[in-house]
């Protein structure tokens, strides 16, 4: 029996601001040489440390907010406030991955426009980008992102401004997501609870489909025939 990989608590924060181009978020590009998500565009974030837990008096979720604020300052010089953060979702890395994290994903408004300062080590680039534009670039194969980033962007793309996004997500349930990962011809699939192939980690099992599929570096979402016990992870267009 293979040894279970440790799961490290972590958090990330989707920084939001209004602009003439619409609702914008700050994306950071990770160093290509990094073992985890090298070369991908991500939101600021990282692992919780002992100081975060001490400041939160042992409350892990509050520690996650504190860690997200700290990482935003360390990685890009931005100062979101933990009390302003709203929880979007919680993701646990699939068992197939060599490094596993239990990650809270928050959204937060920025109260000031501080200069973005990156370290040039772990983070190699940064950009403020309209949420809709980031998704368009991803669809064109120009922006490499992971499923939690992509699903967060799709969710936020339905809002017109920061206030609407924060108030809307504050009233929405935050899903807890434990994907399973499998290869498919020419790509990759992450299956979520409610997918017929989830328990067997087999994307070919017939039945309900609750998954994200990556082909040529671009993600798509499939939600068909799923038990209502497992709601979609993003807004589904109404036909």
- 20-48 pLDDT tens trace: 999 999 999 988 777 666 788 999 999 99
CATH topology of domain 7-177: Nucleoside Triphosphate Pyrophosphohydrolase (3.90.79)
Distance CA(104)–CA(90), nearest Å, equals 5
**What residues does CATH 3.90.79.10 cover in the chain?**
7-177
Distance CA(155)–CA(208), nearest Å, equals 22
**Spatial CB neighbours of 212, under 8 Å, sequence gap ≥ 6:** 147, 150, 151, 189, 190, 192, 219, 220, 221, 222
Question: Over the stretch 153-196, which tens digit does the pLDDT of each residue have?
Answer: 999 999 999 999 999 999 999 999 999 999 888 889 999 999 99
Residue 239 has pLDDT above 60, yes or no: no
**Adjacent-strand bridge partners of 126:** 28
**pTM across the whole model:** 0.94
pLDDT confidence band for 1 (50 / 70 / 90):
very low
């Amino acid at each position: 029996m293979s040894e279970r990989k440790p799961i490290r608590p972590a958090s990330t924060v989707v920084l939001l601001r209004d602009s003439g181009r619409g609702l914008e978020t700050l994306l950071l590009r990770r160093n290509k040489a990094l073992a985890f998500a090298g070369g991908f565009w991500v939101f600021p974030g990282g692992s919780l440390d002992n100081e975060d837990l001490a400041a939160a008096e042992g409350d892990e979720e509050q520690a996650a907010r504190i860690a997200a604020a700290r990482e935003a300052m360390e990685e890009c010089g931005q100062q979101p406030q933990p009390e302003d953060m709203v929880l979007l979702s919680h993701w646990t890395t699939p068992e197939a991955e060599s490094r596993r994290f239990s990650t809270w994903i928050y959204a937060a408004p920025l109260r000031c426009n501080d200069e973005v300062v990156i370290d040039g080590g772990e983070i190699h680039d940064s950009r403020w980008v309209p949420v809709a534009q980031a998704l368009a670039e991803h669809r064109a194969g120009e922006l490499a992102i992971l499923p939690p980033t992509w699903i967060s962007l799709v969710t936020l793309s339905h809002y017109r401004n920061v206030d609407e996004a924060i108030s809307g997500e504050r009233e929405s349930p935050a899903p807890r997501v434990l994907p399973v990962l499998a290869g498919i011809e020419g790509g990759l699939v992450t299956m979520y609870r409610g997918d017929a192939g989830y328990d067997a980690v087999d994307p070919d099992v017939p039945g309900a489909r609750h998954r994200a599929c990556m082909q040529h570096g671009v993600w798509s979402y499939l939600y068909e025939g799923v038990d209502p016990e497992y709601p979609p992870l993003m807004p589904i267009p109404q036909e």
